[in-house]
Amino acid sequence: MDATFAEALARSLNGIPRGRVATCSTIARALGDVRAARAVATWLREHPETLEAHRVVRLDGRPVLDASTARLKKEGVPIAAGRVEHSRFVDTLPDVPFLGRLREEQRRHASQVIEEDAGPIRSVTGIDIAYRGDAAYAAAATLEVETLRTVAVASVRTRVAFPYIPGYLAFREMPGIEAAVRQLPKRPEAIMIDGHGRLHPALFGVACHAGVRLDIPTVGVAKHPLAGRVDSTQDKGTGAHPIRIEGKTRGYAWIPPNRERPIYVSVGHRVSLGTALALVQRTTRVGYPEPLRIADRLAGEMKGE
């Protein structure tokens, strides 16, 4: 995908006529997925210099950017009590084939995921990323599976050019993930990603994306559900609940020790689902898998420096 989010958004905003406004939801639908509505608002607040950003409003008519009122009035847009009249809202905008093409890319690559074990895993590398504005702070921590001893860490700062949109995390995080892996002294035996793998609307979440791109056994671990239905029946051997998508088990919901809510485990690439869950459980002391907990701490420390 050659176009950036900023370029696609600019094309969409360019379709708002003078004297009219559009909501973030309308713009998100034009980009290909209404779930991007919050990302549109966040992006414009962080990049207020974006052309035509003053024509973007919330559902209640309040401009997303506080400084937009004067420009809108100059364009003849009536504003009362800080809100644009709904008669000035555009119902639709021309389609900008951006997120739709990214989704097609995910579906196309989903067939490349291998859900079989590549071999024994003696160490696993957790990767997590923290953000501040346009900066991404990626950290990796490699631990021995048997002892949970940390044997390598790496961290790197990169620039992020894609906002957080549910279901499109890979397009935001892959630059940081790849950069962190390159900083490690040895190529990881396996990686654990703070995000979904097969538990994804296209069966190709960020853990699948990372695994296929890097050709490394990969497990996805997420804190919040994205796709699938959690089975009420608990697996007796693991204590986890299967998660099914279209009738097939694609992941597990498991509540670690000292945690109230479940985490969501799925295959990223080159591991079986059983091995993915076993690896997560073996590397978890309390709350969250140690490789990801340590990577999260390292990323947070780097962000705070």
> Residue with structure tokens 């990796």?
140
Q: What is the CATH number of the domain that holds 39?
A: 1.10.10.10
pLDDT score at 2? 52
Q: Which of 50, 68, 97 is the last residue of a domain?
A: 97
Q: Are residues 68 and 159 in the same domain?
A: no
The set of residues, in sequence order, having a beta carbon less than 8 Å from that of 146 and lying 6+ positions away, is 122
Q: Are residues 156 and 265 in the same domain?
A: yes
CB atoms under 10 Å from CB of 72, counted, come to 20
Whole-number Å distance between alpha carbons of 233 and 227: 18
Provide the phi-psi class of 207: left if phi over 0, else alpha when psi is between -120 and 50, else beta.
alpha
Whole-number Å distance between alpha carbons of 52 and 71: 10
pLDDT tens-digit readout, 117-128: 999 999 999 999
Assess if residue 19 is contained within a domain: yes
Q: Are residues 48 and 73 in the same domain?
A: yes
pLDDT tens-digit readout, 105-118: 999 999 999 999 99
Whether pLDDT at 150 is above 50: yes
Question: How many domains does the chain divide into?
Answer: 2
Whether pLDDT at 244 is above 60: yes
pLDDT tens-digit readout, 270-305: 999 999 999 999 999 999 999 999 999 999 999 988
pLDDT score at 40? 98
Q: Are residues 81 and 154 in the same domain?
A: no
Whether pLDDT at 143 is above 70: yes
- pTM of the model as a whole: 0.93
Assess if residue 103 is contained within a domain: no
Assess if residue 294 is contained within a domain: yes
DSSP reduced 3-state for 212: helix
Q: Which of 46, 74, 97 is the last residue of a domain?
A: 97
Q: Are residues 64 and 130 in the same domain?
A: no
Q: Are residues 93 and 114 in the same domain?
A: no
Q: Are residues 92 and 148 in the same domain?
A: no
Whether pLDDT at 16 is above 50: yes
Q: How confident is the model at residue 21 (pLDDT cuts 50, 70, 90)?
A: very high
Q: Are residues 136 and 237 in the same domain?
A: yes
Q: Are residues 287 and 206 in the same domain?
A: yes
- Of 168, 254, 257, the C-alpha closest to 205 is 168
DSSP reduced 3-state for 208: helix
Q: What is the CATH number of the domain that holds 196?
A: 3.30.2170.10
Residue type, 217: P
Q: Which of 68, 97, 126 is the last residue of a domain?
A: 97
Assess if residue 104 is contained within a domain: no
Percent of the chain predicted with pLDDT > 70 = 99
Q: Are residues 194 and 296 in the same domain?
A: yes
Structure tokens at 121: 């895993």
Q: Are residues 231 and 138 in the same domain?
A: yes
Assess if residue 25 is contained within a domain: yes
Whether pLDDT at 3 is above 80: no
Assess if residue 102 is contained within a domain: no
Whether pLDDT at 236 is above 90: no
Q: Are residues 129 and 222 in the same domain?
A: yes
Domain that holds residue 90: 5-97
Give the least confident one: 39-43, 132-136, 154-158, 266-270.
Answer: 132-136
